[in-house]
């Protein structure tokens, strides 16, 4: 009986998938069907959805898993079918996917995590909660991967970013501590640098710009109150930058030299601009003296700061 129910849900999923593909092709040809309409008549779609609604609480995890795969196809809130379910006071596909984040079966949790849309804040919060929870490793890995690939860095709060980093760094599972962390860091560095990759044709400027990403990434973290986590991430980030520059076999000072030349030039230029700004905008001599003190500390003052 379980096999029969699985096959029925699989057939419904196949119909929904075919419907979505056909609809997309019709829309591309600019025919009359809307972008999120359906070629399946409403009454037939209702019957199919009623079956899925009934089976999403099936005692068999295999059946529930197949149901979730089918429901995920029509989860888009702009889909015509979505609004009809609202009008009929039925659970929407998105609501059902959310519920199964807490399914007793890790296989069902995995399907929900892999297929749910993570555009809205509620789903992002749910994904973060799953990634920080006590789910099985395969579910945690999937949740972290979705957050890395499908959620913008800026969509996460600083607290969420730091908690995710700490959970990965402290994990005893290599697939989390290594694979998931590297994937997350890779995506975050790309966002911080505004680049996708570094090619051999890139100029020195572009190369250096890419590897300034760790410093830029700090703007999205909390190095003051979470110094160890931020520090450890920066070390990992520099290792990754070194690898991306194909300098694993070069001496470390060569890698450092690649980064520091342009960085120092930029820093000096910014400092000069800041000093010129302060000199021209200072309201009094005392104001200008205070600016110089803060921007150009004496050697004694600087040493006191470093040794504290």
Q: Is the pLDDT of residue 203 over 90?
A: no
Q: Using CB atoms within 10 A of its CB, is residue 153 exposed (0-12), middle (13-18) or buried (19+)?
A: middle
Find the range with the poorest average confidence among 108-122, 204-218, 230-244, 248-262.
204-218
Q: Given a cut of 60, is residue 198 above it in pLDDT?
A: no
Asked which of 20-29, 50-59, 198-207 is least confident by mean pLDDT, the reply is 198-207
**pLDDT for residue 280:** 87
Q: What's the confidence (pLDDT) of residue 25?
A: 82
Q: Which residue has the higher pLDDT, 100 or 247?
A: 100
In whole angstroms, give the CA distance from residue 119 to residue 150: 8
Lowest mean pLDDT among 23-27, 82-86, 121-125: 82-86
Structural contact between residues 157 and 189, judged by C-beta atoms closer than 8 angstroms:
no
Residue 202 in this model has a pLDDT that exceeds 50: no
245 pLDDT more than 60 = yes
How many other C-beta atoms are found inside a 10 Å radius of the C-beta of residue 219? 9
pLDDT at site 125: 96
What is the rounded average pLDDT for all residues in the chain? 83
Which tops the pLDDT comparison, 183 or 253?
A: 183
pLDDT at 84: 59
Banded pLDDT at 85 (limits 50, 70, 90):
low
Q: Give the model's pLDDT for residue 123.
A: 95
Mean pLDDT of the region 185-190: 88
- 175 by Cβ neighbours in 10 Å (0-12 / 13-18 / 19+) ranks as middle
d(CA 272, CA 165): 36
Q: Are 198 and 244 in contact (CB under 8 A)?
A: yes
Question: For residues 13 and 72, what is the distance between their CA atoms, to the nearest angstrom?
Answer: 9
The stretch 51-62 carries a mean pLDDT of 94
- Pick the most confident of 48-52, 111-115, 184-188, 210-214: 111-115
C-alpha 248 chain-centroid distance: 27
Asked if residues 186 and 159 have their Cβ atoms less than 8 Å apart, the reply is no
221 vs 228: CA distance, rounded Å: 12
Question: How many percent of the chain have pLDDT more than 90?
Answer: 44
Residue 200 is predicted with a pLDDT of 43
Confidence class for position 199, pLDDT limits 50, 70, 90: very low
Interval 180-200 mean pLDDT: 76
Residue 30: the pLDDT is 67
| pLDDT score at 300 | 63
Q: Point out the least confidently predicted range of 166-175, 192-201, 275-284.
A: 192-201
Q: What is the DSSP letter of 219?
A: G
| Whole-number pLDDT of residue 197 | 46
HSE of 145, CA atoms in CB hemisphere, 13 A: 15
Which of the listed ranges 149-163, 229-243, 269-283 does the model predict with the highest average pLDDT?
A: 149-163
CA distance 244 to 28: 39
């Amino acid at each position: 009986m379980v096999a029969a129910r699985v096959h029925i849900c699989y057939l419904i999923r196949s119909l929904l998938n075919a419907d979505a593909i056909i609809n997309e092709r019709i829309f591309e040809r600019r025919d009359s069907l809307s972008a999120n309409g359906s070629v399946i008549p409403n009454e037939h779609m209702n019957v199919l959805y009623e079956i899925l609604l009934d089976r999403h609480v099936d005692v068999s995890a295999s059946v529930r898993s197949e149901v979730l795969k089918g429901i995920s196809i029509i989860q888009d809130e702009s889909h015509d079918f979505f609004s009809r379910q609202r009008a009929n006071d039925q659970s929407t596909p998105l609501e059902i996917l959310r519920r199964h984040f807490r399914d007793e079966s890790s296989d069902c949790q995995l399907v929900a995590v892999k297929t749910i849309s993570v555009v809205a804040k509620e789903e992002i919060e749910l994904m973060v909660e799953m990634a920080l929870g006590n789910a099985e490793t395969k579910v945690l890995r999937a949740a972290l991967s979705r957050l890395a690939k499908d959620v913008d860095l800026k969509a996460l709060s600083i607290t969420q970013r730091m908690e995710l980093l700490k959970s990965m760094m402290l994990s005893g599972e290599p697939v989390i501590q290594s694979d998931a962390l590297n994937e997350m860091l890779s995506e975050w560095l790309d966002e911080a640098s505004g680049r996708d990759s570094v090619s051999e044709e890139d100029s020195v400027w572009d190369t250096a710009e890419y590897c300034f990403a760790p410093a830029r990434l700090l703007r999205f973290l909390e190095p003051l109150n979470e110094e160890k986590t931020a520090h450890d991430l920066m070390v990992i980030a520099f290792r990754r930058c070194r690898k991306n520059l194909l300098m694993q076999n070069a001496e470390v000072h060569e890698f450092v030299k690649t980064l520091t030349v342009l960085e120092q030039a930029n820093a000096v230029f910014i400092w000069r601009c800041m000093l010129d700004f302060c000199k021209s905008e200072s309201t009094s001599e005392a104001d200008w003296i205070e600016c110089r003190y803060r921007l150009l500390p004496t050697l004694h003052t600087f040493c006191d700061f470093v040794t504290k």
